Structure 1
Amino acid sequence: MILVTGASGQLGRLVIDSLLEKTAASNIVAAVRSPEKVADLAEKGVQVHQADYTDQDSLVAAMQGVEKVLLISSSEVGQRTAQHNNIINAAKQAGVSLIAYTSILKADTSPLILAEEHVATEKLLAESGVPHVLLRNGWYSENYTMSVATALEYGVVGCAGDGKLATASRADFAAAAAAVLVNDGQAGKVYELAGDNAFTLSEYAAAISKVTGKTVAYQNVPEAEFTKILVGAGLPEGFAAILADSEAGASKGGLFSESKDLSTLIGRPTTPIEDSIKAAL
């Protein structure tokens, strides 16, 4: 029995789609805060259990009879460590035999502020005694392609300099998680999951130009200015600062890896950025 936390989210749904190709629906548990959001999964035979990252008792109840848990990192930055601790404690209490955790690429050496809660969670896992495997995910290509329409109008703006981004599609990362969950012997492993073909934001702008036929340029700006631009676009100031910090971290190699763990796990090359651009368009 495999339980996926945050199963109504974008990654969680894709993981379950991939699991359904590898195992029976009855072997899958979708743990969600609002079960009505995954009624379609229940119709496919997936077990749906209500569970909240902030409610350890609900998590323990959801994990009864579960062998493996995919802990998809919380979307609530600043509250992740406490929420993840609830899930780890619940898994220990429920006798789960493996936790797979979606961490961040090169967490232990990452310059990104976002890495701090992932490092803290990895430490909690190590101290818990529960067998676990780390899925250190790189950036989703969708982090950029979701705003491709804006890029077409205003160009690509960022503060990553010439830093390379080893992105892959969210579906690629989901397929890797599913592969780990259905295969034995994963405890203790650390996967650095990155796309096969890294690119700079200048190259990303060129890829948009190639796909659309419209010339798109990249404008590199200081981190503080990029933060202001994001705030002006409607993002909360704190979140804008985190995104800008991540871009700046990319300039230091924080979002680049030559690891082929991802393509090895999924058994095929990762999705090229051009394909993700086309999908977004």
Structure 2
Amino acid sequence: MIVITGGTGGLGSQIVERLLERVPADQIGVSVREPGRAAGLAESGVRVRRGDFADPDSLADAFEGATQVLVVSIDETGEAAVAYHVAAVDAAREAGAKRVLYTSHQAASADSLFAPMPDHAATERHLAASGVPFTALRNGFYASTVPMLLGEALRTGELIAPADGPVSWTARADLAEAAAIILAEGGYEGPTPPLTAPVALDLRDVAGILTELTGRPVRRVVADDDEWAAGLTGHGVPEAQAELILGMFHAARRGEFAATGPELENLLGRPATPLRTILAEAVRAG
């Protein structure tokens, strides 16, 4: 049995969908905080059980009989996030899983300037010390982040953001398919090579793509860090969240997200989805 945490989430649900193309439904389980949201999966034959990283007893039940457990990282940062990931890894080990997989990041590092990256690195260290064979999926930065960085660029023709650097923006759907392939076929001991799109682009490149897609000039404008962050908080973004986002730009400047490689495309057996496709969807959406 392959058990996936967060099976109704943005990434987890897509992994389950692609895994169902490769593995019989009765060999797949999901661990979810709200089983009612997974009614469709249950109807398809997937085992649905409640599992909450904050409730170890629930994880013991959710992971029962698992040969593999994929721990999908949560959308939080700091000590609490690491503690939840550690709890899930330990529960998978205690349930007798033969392999634990974890959705990490290409830039996982203890000294990263982007807050989630040290958390990923800490979880990877715990995995390595757990005594269970593990795979850390070094996923590329979600390409779906880019439309959220555009601000009013499509309206004003100015893409205003702090100084950045090249990022190998990667489609979440591609990463979900890659995870399903690895779960179904095995391979990869320890951290994977970067699972990324084959090119790294900065926001100047993004402005150029938008210019081509819209037929209207879009100019990249570099904003002052503090003024930009203040603008976010002035529009209701919590200060801690604004600082988190600013950290992403700091890390990008240092080249933390610039790594690329052929591994994702080799796994998929096809070209990775280009950022242009993601941006074209954003343009059509308005």
Q: Provide TM-score, normalisation by structure 2.
A: 0.92
Name 2:90's counterpart in structure 1. 89
**Residue ranges of structure 2 left out of the alignment (5+ in a row):** none
CA contact (8 A) 2:15 2:179 kept: yes
CA contact (8 A) 2:53 2:85 kept: yes
Q: Which amino acid aligns with 1:73?
A: S
**Residue ranges of structure 1 left out of the alignment (5+ in a row):** none
Cα distance, 1:41–1:215 mapped onto 2, change above 3 Å: farther
**What are the within-5 Å matches in structure 2 for residues 35-114 of structure 1?**
35-78=35-78, 79-108=80-109, 110-114=112-116
**What are the within-5 Å matches in structure 2 for residues 70-219 of structure 1?**
70-78=70-78, 79-108=80-109, 110-146=112-148, 150-154=152-156, 155-161=158-164, 163-219=165-221
Task: Give the deviation of 1:258 after TM superposition.
Answer: 2.4
CA contact (8 A) 2:59 2:91 kept: yes
2: CA distance between counterparts of 1:127 and 1:149? 43
2: CA distance between counterparts of 1:227 and 1:30? 38
Task: Give the deviation of 1:4 after TM superposition.
Answer: 0.9
Q: Select which of 213, 228, 231 maps to 2:230.
A: 228
Task: Give the deviation of 1:146 after TM superposition.
Answer: 4.5
Q: Which amino acid aligns with 2:56?
A: Q
Q: Which amino acid aligns with 2:218?
A: V
2: CA distance between counterparts of 1:268 and 1:148? 29
CA contact (8 A) 2:160 2:220 kept: yes
2: CA distance between counterparts of 1:59 and 1:46? 17
1: CA distance between counterparts of 2:187 and 2:223? 46
CA offsets 1:46-98 (integer angstroms, 9 cap, x no match): 21111111111111110111111111111122221000011011011101111
Secondary structure at the aligned position of 1:31 is classed as: strand
CA offsets 1:81-121 (integer angstroms, 9 cap, x no match): 00001101101110111111111213136442221111111
2: CA distance between counterparts of 1:238 and 1:167? 24
CA contact (8 A) 1:137 1:194 kept: yes
CA contact (8 A) 2:150 2:160 kept: no
Secondary structure at the aligned position of 1:191 is classed as: coil
**What are the within-5 Å matches in structure 2 for residues 28-39 of structure 1?**
28-39=28-39
Cα distance, 1:157–1:38 mapped onto 2, change above 3 Å: farther
Cα distance, 1:124–1:207 mapped onto 2, change above 3 Å: same
Secondary structure at the aligned position of 1:53 is classed as: coil
Name 1:267's counterpart in structure 2. 269
Task: Give the deviation of 1:148 after TM superposition.
Answer: 5.2
CA contact (8 A) 2:149 2:161 kept: no
Give the 4+ runs in structure 1 shifted more than 6 A.
none
Q: Which amino acid aligns with 1:69?
A: V
Cα distance, 1:211–1:237 mapped onto 2, change above 3 Å: same
Q: Report the count of equivalent residues.
A: 280
Task: Give the deviation of 1:147 after TM superposition.
Answer: 5.8
Name 2:8's counterpart in structure 1. 8
1: CA distance between counterparts of 2:162 and 2:149? 16
2: CA distance between counterparts of 1:279 and 1:21? 26
2: CA distance between counterparts of 1:191 and 1:55? 32
Deviates more, 1:23-32 or 1:150-159: 150-159
2: CA distance between counterparts of 1:84 and 1:21? 27
1: CA distance between counterparts of 2:216 and 2:15? 35
1: CA distance between counterparts of 2:26 and 2:150? 38
Cα distance, 1:160–1:36 mapped onto 2, change above 3 Å: farther
Q: Which amino acid aligns with 1:184?
A: G
Q: Which amino acid aligns with 2:62?
A: A
Task: Give the deviation of 1:139 after TM superposition.
Answer: 0.9
Task: Give the deviation of 1:197 after TM superposition.
Answer: 2.3
2: CA distance between counterparts of 1:218 and 1:104? 27
2: CA distance between counterparts of 1:181 and 1:276? 26
CA contact (8 A) 1:223 1:248 kept: no
Secondary structure at the aligned position of 1:192 is classed as: coil
